């Protein structure tokens, strides 16, 4: 088991965004987190990366309780994320974005940077090589010197994934990676996530594109109004009465229409 989310509750003011939600993800799985808007999916990501601290409950990552530790330390421990509304370092080049992602994988400080010690130069070289390799993986190597904000939308989404991968995570959190993508882009995103999985990285994905989710995920948890509604394989979820009622039925109607 890579991560165990235990009885997480989060209250904002008087409103609870998450109520007693638990699930656990096995190593190497692609795990889907779905539910209508406002179901608390992104809040769950913010709990796991500790952008907000949960009101109660705990999160166990690789056997260690990581509830309440600083976000940057969580990244160091091997969890990295992307954002629903892309948050790249917009004025930096594509390559530099990925290199920032590799921050936790390198160690040079002020002294070694200013004096360009041998170790620092070697580390920098290695970081560039690794970053370029990741850019190749997401198909952006030819744009490595482009300023991030000048990339096309789909490219920015892929760059965010590359940046997250640069931190060498065991668990990758993807927040609606297919949002705003056309069919062709979504297909190549599918391939990319499968490749990520084949590298032994566990993936937790929030996504509204149901065909993609059903094709991609090994298991799925459905949230509704902050509560866990169901959990299971894509087939089980598709046949779950409560889920169809609350969410899928509506969604499929919309898709049909």
Partner 1 sequence: MLGEILNTYYLQIGSFILINIMLAISVYVPLSSGQLSLGSAGFMGVGAYTSALLTIHFDLPIVIGIIAGALAASALGVIVGIPSLRLSGVYLAIATLGLGEVIRVIFVNWDSLTRGSVGLTGIPQLGREILEFARGVGFEPAMIGIKNNQFVFLSIFLVLLVLVIVILWFVVRQQNSRVGRALSSINLDEKAAESMGINITYYKVISFTQGAFFAGLAGALFAHVIGYISPADFSYHRAVEVLIFTVFGGSEVIIGSVFGAFFLTLMPEVLRFVSEFRYIIYGILLVVLMAVRPQGILDANLLKKIKFKRSKGGIR
Q: Which positions touch partner 1 (CB under 8 A)?
A: 49, 51, 70-72, 75-76, 80-81, 83, 87-92, 96, 99-101, 103-104, 106, 108-110, 113-116, 120, 123-124, 127, 163, 167
Residue closer to partner 1 by CB (options 18, 74) is 74
The tokens describing 76, both together, are 């160091």
> At its nearest, how many Å lie between partner 1 and the CB of residue 92?
7
CB of 202 to partner 1, least distance (A): 17
For the bound state, the minimum distance from the C-beta of residue 62 to partner 1, rounded and expressed in Å, comes to 16
| CB closer to partner 1 out of 89 and 190 | 89
Burial environment of residue 196 by CB neighbours within 10 A (0 to 12, 13 to 18, 19 or more): buried
Report the residue number, 16 or 112, with the smaller CB distance to partner 1. 112
* C-alpha span between 46 and 228 (Å, rounded): 17
Give the tokens for residue 251.
């969604």
C-beta of 184: minimal distance to partner 1 in Å?
Answer: 28
Q: If residue 224 lies in a helix (H) or strand (E), which one and from where to where?
A: strand 219-224
Using CA atoms, how far apart are residues 200 and 162, in angstroms rounded to an integer?
Answer: 15
Closer residue to partner 1, CB minimum distance, 1 or 114: 114
End-to-end CA distance of the chain: 40
**What is the distance, to the nearest Å, from the Cα of residue 78 to the centroid of all Cα atoms in its chain?**
12
Question: CA 24, 25, 31, 33: dihedral to nearest 10 degrees?
Answer: 20
CB of 53 to partner 1, least distance (A): 14
By C-beta, is 12 or 255 nearer to partner 1?
Answer: 12
- Calculate Rg over the CA atoms of the chain: 19
């Amino acid at each position: 088991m890579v991560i165990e989310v235990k009885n997480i509750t989060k209250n904002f003011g008087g409103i609870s965004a998450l109520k007693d939600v638990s699930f656990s993800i096995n190593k190497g799985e692609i795990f889907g987190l779905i539910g209508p808007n406002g179901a608390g999916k992104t809040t769950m990501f913010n709990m796991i990366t500790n952008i907000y601290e949960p009101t109660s409950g705990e999160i166990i990552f690789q056997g260690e309780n990581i509830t309440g530790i600083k976000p940057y330390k969580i990244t160091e421990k091997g969890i990295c994320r992307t954002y629903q509304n892309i948050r790249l370092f917009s004025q930096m080049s594509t390559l530099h974005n990925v290199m920032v992602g590799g921050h936790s994988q390198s160690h040079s400080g002020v002294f070694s940077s200013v004096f360009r010690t041998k170790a620092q130069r070697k580390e920098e070289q290695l970081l560039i090589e690794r970053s370029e390799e990741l850019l190749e993986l997401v198909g952006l190597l030819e744009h490595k010197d482009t300023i991030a904000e000048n990339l096309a939308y789909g490219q920015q989404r892929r760059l965010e994934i590359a940046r997250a991968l640069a931190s060498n995570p065991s668990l990758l959190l993807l927040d609606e990676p297919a949002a705003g993508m056309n069919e062709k882009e979504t297909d190549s995103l599918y391939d990319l996530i499968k490749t990520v999985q084949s590298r032994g990285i566990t993936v937790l994905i929030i996504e509204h594109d149901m065909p993609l989710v059903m094709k991609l995920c090994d298991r799925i948890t459905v949230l509704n109004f902050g509560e866990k509604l169901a959990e299971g394989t894509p087939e089980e979820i598709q046949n779950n009465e409560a889920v169809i009622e609350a969410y899928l039925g509506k969604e499929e109607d919309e898709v049909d229409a």
